Amino acid sequence: MSDLTGLRALVTGGASGIGLATVHRLTERGATVAVLDLDPGNLPLGFKADVADDASVRTAVAAAVEQLGGLDILVNNAGIGAIGSVEDNPDDQWHRVLDINLLGIVRTTRAALPHLRASEHAAIVNTCSIAATAGLPQRALYSASKGAVLSLTLAMAADHVREGIRVNCVNPGTVDTPWVGRLLDAAGDPAAERAALNARQPTGRLVSAEEVAAAIAYLASPDAASVTGTALAVDGGMQGLRLRPV
């Protein structure tokens, strides 16, 4: 069990799905956790911001760090999906998704780095995806955005290793979150779609948000002090077993 007692964390996209499960996991392990989200709801340390807007990110990160009294852990998790081949999304949609999924990480990291440098246990965890490397059909834009997140994770790990800041990512498979629920609802017969989706997983079921959160908590913890520049697959074996993803 990764002990995070006394550590201070910020989770982007922490109001739902993998992000919310991460907030719970980090809190259970002893961390104090703030959330940066478009809609933080009534989370106690919730800060409303759009990762696509640099000014709102800087304001929210500064406010969160002030409340936390410093920062040790940044979880760059906010992201959106996109369906289709290169023919299906116009340029403005490419710009929008890259602005959130890729540049969103750049913005929060830039705002957080001066605070992370002051930490004895600084760690950044990015939520990437098996889409980064799997060659998924009908996911050109989403896959390109996550491929960039994987490359960015490695580059950031190299840039900051001598400063004692570790940078890793998780590569989830298909995770049972509100996002996937919305996709299933749009499909007509959600129960049948869910059964078919489960059947396509190596394990026969979707990954849970809590399982991804546990991997994020490990990578963020001092237990992973010698782990940097890695991508941890949490996909029920989808990638490692070379099975055809959804």
Closer residue to ligand NAD (CB): 31 or 170: 170
**Which residues 91-110 are close enough to bind ligand NAD by CB under 6 A?**
100
Within 10 A of 169 (CB to CB), how many other CB atoms are there? 29
- The verdict on 23 binding ligand NAD (CB under 6 A) reads no
169 is written with which tokens? 């990512």
- The verdict on 175 binding ligand NAD (CB under 6 A) reads yes
Within 10 A of 6 (CB to CB), how many other CB atoms are there? 11
- The verdict on 78 binding ligand NAD (CB under 6 A) reads yes
The C-alpha atoms of residue 221 and residue 15 are separated, in whole angstroms, by 21
Identified catalytic residue from 142, 156, 166, 220? 142
Counting runs of H as helices and runs of E as strands, what totals does the chain give? 9, 9
Closer residue to ligand NAD (CB): 77 or 201: 77
* Residue in 70, 84, 178, 240 binding ligand NAD, rule: CB under 6 A: 178
Q: Give yes or no: 142 in active site.
A: yes
**Widest Cα–Cα separation across the chain:** 52
Sequence-ordered alpha helix ranges (H) in 29-123: 54-68, 91-101, 103-116
Q: How far is the CB of 16 from ligand NAD (least distance, A)?
A: 3
How does DSSP classify residue 177? S
Interaction site with ligand NAD (CB under 6 A): 12-13, 15-19, 37-39, 50-52, 77-80, 100, 127, 129, 172, 174-175, 177-180
Residues noted as catalytic: 142
